[in-house]
């Protein structure tokens, strides 16, 4: 193959392959990217995560650290707080050794690593911002917030292009990091509709199909996802309003023990189930009476997209970006203010009492999402952007 026709080697950079929306999108891109034009590789900070088995077999996986015991050098680097620099140098070595043409980094920390690596080995870079940057940065920066903001801003400014996965998030990124508007483009999440329909038809545990009203929520058990407010709403509905329902939460995370303690303390064991990581959440979405997303902030929530594409009525918090774009400002589903358990309870009750109306809105929402987020269109747009920034090399 001549240099003129050589496939572009694209390195996808992300922290781990845990079961989050960003990781699922990386899997989709790795599956769908045109192999006649691109040669994809995957780089992880740590070779862990439930989705590792989902990576296509032809994609090489490289990692800064795997699950083997730490070496003395790795312990020394960690104790001296030199891990970021070590990651930058390691990734720069991968860029050089693997002759990478373009980097695609998917999350905030992956962007910092990729930006650091390209100081040592300049490489065109597509940096994704997939979550509201201000609360995300504040969550990571307990001290020295101003300095960390400058480092993050520099990382995004030095990218060839910044990709935001929703129109609202693009505006937030431009304003917060003071970036030129033409430096940030909207590149929405991908939905492979044929595959989604096939996976959504897999069977569920039969004991949950007979629930009087089944709610499903999905996402890592993290403060950002607002699960405490959802559990407070369930407590209000079950223990005070005497409503019969079941909530199933799909996902794992650092807050699991706290959330389970809340369920025990409020006698909700018969009404709330933590199902853990579920490799294929789509059957749960399709069988649910209502999908609930109680997040405090988002970018473009993949779980909400998938639930709506399954035809399930949806209720979400009106974050600064994401849910209102998917649900057309509430025309296609319920929207409530973030961190408002009372509003969640009231709207869940409204869905239970007026369910045919919510089902009608779900039909419209399904068609809207399927038209706007079809993977074939989105993948062509992303491939064009990769080729565009590769020219800058």
Q: In a 3-state reduction of DSSP, which class is residue 67?
A: coil
What are the tokens at 143? Answer: 């001290």
Cα dihedral value 151, 154, 156, 157, nearest 10: 170
Residue 3 forms part of a structural domain: no
Per residue in 36-84, pLDDT tens? Answer: 999 999 999 999 998 999 999 999 999 998 755 555 555 655 565 557 8
Select the more confidently predicted residue: 313 or 132.
Answer: 313
**Residue whose pair of structure tokens reads 């909207």 in the numeric block:** 186
- Name the burial class of residue 172, with classes exposed (0-12), middle (13-18) and buried (19+) by CB atoms within 10 angstroms of its CB: buried
Identify the pLDDT of residue 1.
Answer: 47
CA separation (Å) from 245 to 116, 287, 341, 391? 49, 14, 16, 55
Identify the pLDDT of residue 172.
Answer: 93
| 123 and 174 together in one domain | yes
Identify the pLDDT of residue 147.
Answer: 87
Domain count, the chain: 2
**Cβ neighbours, 10 Å, residue 261:** 10
Question: Residue 77 belongs to a domain with what CATH number?
Answer: 3.40.50.2000
| 160 and 251 together in one domain | no
Q: Over 60: is that where the pLDDT of 332 sits? A: yes
Strand order in the sheet with 125-129: 61-65, 38-46, 8-14, 102-105, 125-129, 161-164, 184-186
Q: Over 90: is that where the pLDDT of 299 sits? A: no
Identify the pLDDT of residue 5.
Answer: 72
Q: In a 3-state reduction of DSSP, which class is residue 159?
A: coil
Q: Over 90: is that where the pLDDT of 20 sits? A: no
Identify the pLDDT of residue 70.
Answer: 57
Boundaries of domain holding 353: 194-372
Identify the pLDDT of residue 83.
Answer: 74
What are the tokens at 109? Answer: 């920390």
Residue 333 forms part of a structural domain: yes
Q: Over 60: is that where the pLDDT of 295 sits? A: yes
| Helix, strand, coil percentages, rounded to 5, for the chain | 50, 15, 35
């Amino acid at each position: 193959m001549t240099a003129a026709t050589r496939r572009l080697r694209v390195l996808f950079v992300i922290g781990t392959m845990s079961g989050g929306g960003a990781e699922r999108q990386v899997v989709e891109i790795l599956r769908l990217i045109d192999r006649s034009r691109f040669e994809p590789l995957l780089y992880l900070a740590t070779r862990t995560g439930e989705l590792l088995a989902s990576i296509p077999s032809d994609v090489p996986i490289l990692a800064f650290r795997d699950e083997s015991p730490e070496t003395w050098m790795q312990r020394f680097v960690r104790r001296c707080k030199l891990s970021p620099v070590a990651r930058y140098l390691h990734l720069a070595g991968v860029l050089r050794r693997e002759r990478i043409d373009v980097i695609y980094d998917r999350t905030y920390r992956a962007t910092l690593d990729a930006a650091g690596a390209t100081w040592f080995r300049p490489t065109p870079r597509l940096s994704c911002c997939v979550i509201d940057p201000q609360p995300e940065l504040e969550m990571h920066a307990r001290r020295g917030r101003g300095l960390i903001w400058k480092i993050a801003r520099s990382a995004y400014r030095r990218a060839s292009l910044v990709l935001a996965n929703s129109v609202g998030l693009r505006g937030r990124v431009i304003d917060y990091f003071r970036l030129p508007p033409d430096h940030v483009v909207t590149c929405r999440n991908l939905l492979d509709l044929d595959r989604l329909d096939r996976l959504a038809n897999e069977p569920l545990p039969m004991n949950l199909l007979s629930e009087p009203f089944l709610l499903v929520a999905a996402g890592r058990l993290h403060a950002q996802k607002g699960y405490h407010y959802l559990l407070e709403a369930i407590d209000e509905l079950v223990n005070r309003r005497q409503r019969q329902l079941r909530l199933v939460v799909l996902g794992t995370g650092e807050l699991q023990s706290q959330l389970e303690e809340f369920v025990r303390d409020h006698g909700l064991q018969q009404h709330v189930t933590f199902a853990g990581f579920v490799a294929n959440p789509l059957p749960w979405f399709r069988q649910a009476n209502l999908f609930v997303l109680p997040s405090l902030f988002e970018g473009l929530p993949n779980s909400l997209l998938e639930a709506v594409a399954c035809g399930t009525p949806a209720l979400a918090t009106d974050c600064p970006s994401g849910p209102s774009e998917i649900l057309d400002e509430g025309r296609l589903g319920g929207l409530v203010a973030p961190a408002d358990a009372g509003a969640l309870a009231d709207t869940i009750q409204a869905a239970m009492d007026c369910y045919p109306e919510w089902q009608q809105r779900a039909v419209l929402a399904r068609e809207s999402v399927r038209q706007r987020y079809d993977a074939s269109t989105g993948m062509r747009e992303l491939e064009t952007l990769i080729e565009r920034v590769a020219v800058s090399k």
